[in-house]
Amino acid sequence: MAVPKRKMSRSNTRHRRAQWKANTPNLVPVTVDGVTHRVPQHLVRAYQRGLLRPED
């Protein structure tokens, strides 16, 4: 495991953490049981296989 050799300043730590931003997922239309739902792109296969159920 990588271990820092020196203590990082509070300013640098917070600046580094501020670079991590969550993005909204790309929603794509999927038809389940004859009804079209918008679901995240990386979960399309799970909805098509029936592993996940769309929320109404």
**Count of Cβ atoms closer than 10 Å to residue 54 Cβ:** 14
Read off the pLDDT of residues 6-22 as tens digits, 9 standing for 90 and up.
888 988 888 877 777 88
User: What is the pLDDT, as a whole number, of residue 55?
Assistant: 78
Q: Which residue has the higher pLDDT, 42 or 1?
A: 42
Tokens at residue 18, please?
């501020």
Read off the pLDDT of residues 17-50 as tens digits, 9 standing for 90 and up.
777 788 888 999 999 889 999 999 999 999 999 9
**Count of Cβ atoms closer than 10 Å to residue 30 Cβ:** 19
Full DSSP string of 1-56: ----SSPPPHHHHHHHHTT----PPPEEEEEETTEEEEEEGGGHHHHHHTSS----
Task: Decide: pTM greater than 0.75.
Answer: no
User: What is the pLDDT, as a whole number, of residue 29?
Assistant: 95
